[in-house]
Amino acid sequence: MAQTAINVTPPNVPAEKVSSPWRDAWKAFRKNKTAMVGLYIIVFFVLIAIFAPLIAPYGFKEQVLVNRLKPPSSAHWFGTDDLGRDLFTRVMYGARISLWVGFFSVIASIFVGTILGILAGFYGKWIDMLISRLFDILLAFPSILLAIAIVAILGPSLQNALYAIAIVNIPTYGRLVRAKVLSLKSEEYITAARAIGMTNTRILVTHILPNSLTPIIVQGTLGIATAIIEAAALGFLGLGAQPPDPEWGKMLSDSRQFIQKAPWTVIFPGLSIMLTVLGFNLMGDGLRDVLDPRMKN
């Protein structure tokens, strides 16, 4: 009997070519030009926020009264405000505040929203009824108005503005997670997990949570954009950051009265809000196309 030698050596596959869902998503994301522009804008502002103390030419509280309302120049790239403070410096430090509020308020909303969404979707019955009605009620208010109401109760401060924005946005994530849990619950692999005796907690942590992640990431990215605008709006109304914090919205309201004499005091903080929000919107749209195309529209 003739023996045939069979080559069983596995083909030499380079490690980087192994595909994973995240790697595929990143590949698709990289091809999306507008989404990449969004990512670059975000990275730019994040870097500014991190390195503000190192690169800012002046201190953000540093007042030089003889330099009041000076137009942009080589010494002050964005000009100065009514107290002679360097606007370029203040806009840079403002990135810290806006990104901090945007990021942490969304994390807080996601944390609470996910817990409530899972409780409602997984356990159903009266818990679902109660939580869903609570979401309905919170969503029945225009979000900025509810945030204003919460700050009116807690008192105006940046921290309270963050809490208010976080509370207002809880139902958005809660509903998303609830819907995802409901659709996953009837999947066969969850029934299988139950059949082999997995506990509810384990099913939640190992199966349901990881599978709910994509819509949360997409919504969270777009949510940071909304949170930044809401924080700036509260700041603008005097209900968020308090002086001398260089918050973009507060800077706008403080400089309003000088708009004709010193338009630069209003142009640069506003432009920064718009660009940051645009970055998160572009990236969020791109992530949605890549991770969850069904969410489009």
Partner 1 sequence: MNSYLLKRVMVLIPVLIGMTIIVFSIIHAIPGDPAETILGQKATEQSKQALREQLGLDKPWLQQYFNYMGELLHGDLGTSIRTKTPIAKEIMPYLAATLELTAASMLFATFVGVNAGILSAWRQNSWFDYTAMIIALIGVSMPIFWLGLMEQLIFALKLHWLPSIGRMDQRNPIETITNLYVLDSLLAGRWDQLWIVIKHLILPSIALGTIPMAIIARMTRSSMLEVMNSDYIRTAKAKGLSQFLVVYKHALKNALIPVLTVVGLQTGALLGGAVLTETIFAWPGVGRYIFEAISSRDYPVIQTGILIIAFIFVFINLLVDLMYAAIDPRINYK
Closer CB to partner 1, 58 or 248, in the complex: 248
CB-wise, 34 or 206, nearer to partner 1?
34
Q: Which is nearer to partner 1, 87 or 229 (CB)?
A: 229
Q: Which stretches of 140-259 are DSSP H helices?
A: 143-154, 158-185, 188-195, 200-203, 209-236, 248-255
Write down the residue that tokens 């994040």 correspond to: 46
Least CB distance to partner 1 at residue 259 (A) = 5
Residue 96: name the closest of 220, 217, 228, 221 by CA.
Answer: 228
Classify burial at 66, counting beta carbons within 10 Å of its beta carbon; exposed 0-12, middle 13-18, buried 19 or more: exposed
Q: How far is the CB of 170 from partner 1 (least distance, A)?
A: 13
- Nearer to partner 1 (CB atom), residue 127 or residue 213: 127
Q: How far is the CB of 212 from partner 1 (least distance, A)?
A: 25
**Which 8-state DSSP code applies to residue 65?**
G
* CB of 207 or CB of 288, closer to partner 1: 288
Beta carbon of residue 78, minimum distance to partner 1 (angstroms, whole number): 15
Long-range contacts of 72-80 (CB under 8 A, 24+ apart): 72/264, 78/264, 78/268, 79/262, 79/264, 79/265, 79/268
Query: What residues make contact with partner 1 under the rule CB under 8 A?
Result: 133-134, 136-137, 140-146, 148-149, 152-155, 225, 229, 232-233, 236-239, 249, 252-253, 256, 259-260, 263, 266-267, 270, 273-274, 277-278, 281-282, 297
